[in-house]
Homo-oligomer: A and B are copies of this chain.
Amino acid sequence: MNVCCYTLNNIPLIKRGDDIARIIIERTELKEKDIVVISSSIVAKAEQGLVRLDSHNPTTRAIEIAERNDADPRFVQAVLDNSKETLVESPFLLVELESGHICVNAGIDVSNTGDYNSVTLLPADADYSAEQTRGRLKELTGISTGVVIIDTNGRAFRNGQTGVAIGVSGIQAIHDWRGSPDLFGRTLEVKYEAILDEVAGFANLLMGEGNGATPIAVVQGLDLLSKKTSITELFRKPEEDIIRKALKRQKEIASINE
């Protein structure tokens, strides 16, 4: 198997209302089954624009968490406003979003906004955003692609952040290996592979994080198109999530001890 991944050059500073699909096709010639990977921050900028931190009035709870974490209370309030549940509150905020995605600070980012009073949120419905972009690419080029929207997140047990998928349209999220034989015809150990996150991580590596301005990548050579897909396939059910239950217990103990 031979796969290539490249980034698009000269992406302009994205502002609200920008047509990301058009920006893509002006910079590359897509091929059938290409996977277009887009950084969540530019999707959010195109959809919502920047959000002012001072539009979030800190509650008592936000002020208290901010004090513990040495953070801006308005930022903490923004995180709480965009979270369904907090898994860890200190020394950092690990939360679950409405979508089911779990990440630090609800994915809210102060970088690449131009000032410390503006932030980008994650797209409200990243699957929908991916679908819109995929539809627009099809409309503009006639070509069927997959679209993945990614963010950079930390992990349990390991240092460093990696790219992960937060929205998808048109390609599989999980490959189901059940029923596939190993080299000797026996049952495979690995049942489910999160191929979408494996794509997301590599695209993130090429995109970089700073002022390289390469928030869009294309992966060419994979055959992963799928009509039926959702980012929710990647999220563990809370009742099946041992680690999440342990964090919940930890939080309960911490509040009893206060």
Contacts and interface: CB of A to CB of B under 8 A. Distances in A.
Interface of A: 1-7, 13, 88, 91-92, 94, 102, 109-116, 152, 155-164, 173-175, 177, 180-190, 192-195, 197-199, 201-202, 204-206, 209-211, 213-214, 222, 233-236, 241-247, 249-250, 253
Contact of A159 (B88, B192, B242): B192
Given A109-B189, A158-B235, A210 B242 contact: no
Contacts of A204: 193, 198
A157 B236 contact: yes
Contact of A249 (B109, B155, B187, B250): B250
Count of this chain's copies in the oligomeric assembly: 2
7 contacts: A156-B156, A156-B243, A157-B236, A159-B174, A162-B197, A182-B210, A249-B249
B202 A234 contact: no
Contacts of A244: 156-157
Contacts of A112: 182-184
Given A3-B6, A157-B241, A160-B194, 18 more contacts: A1-B7, A112-B184, A114-B184, A152-B193, A155-B194, A157-B243, A158-B194, A158-B197, A158-B234, A159-B235, A159-B236, A180-B211, A183-B210, A185-B211, A190-B209, A243-B246, A249-B250, A250-B250
Candidate in A5, A157, A205 with the most chain B CB atoms within 10 angstroms: A157
A214 B1 contact: yes
A247 B243 contact: yes
Nearest to A96: B157
Contacts of A202: 5, 198-199, 201-202
A68 to B, nearest CB: 13
A38 B160 CA distance: 22
List 8 tightest A-B contacts by C-beta distance, closest first: A160-B194, A202-B202, A156-B156, A198-B201, A198-B205, A111-B189, A2-B6, A246-B250
Contact of A242 (B3, B88, B115, B185): B88
Contacts of A102: 157
A222 B155 CA distance: 24
Contacts of A174: 159-160
A185 B156 CA distance: 30
A251 to B, nearest CB: 9
A187 B211 CA distance: 10
B209 A205 contact: no
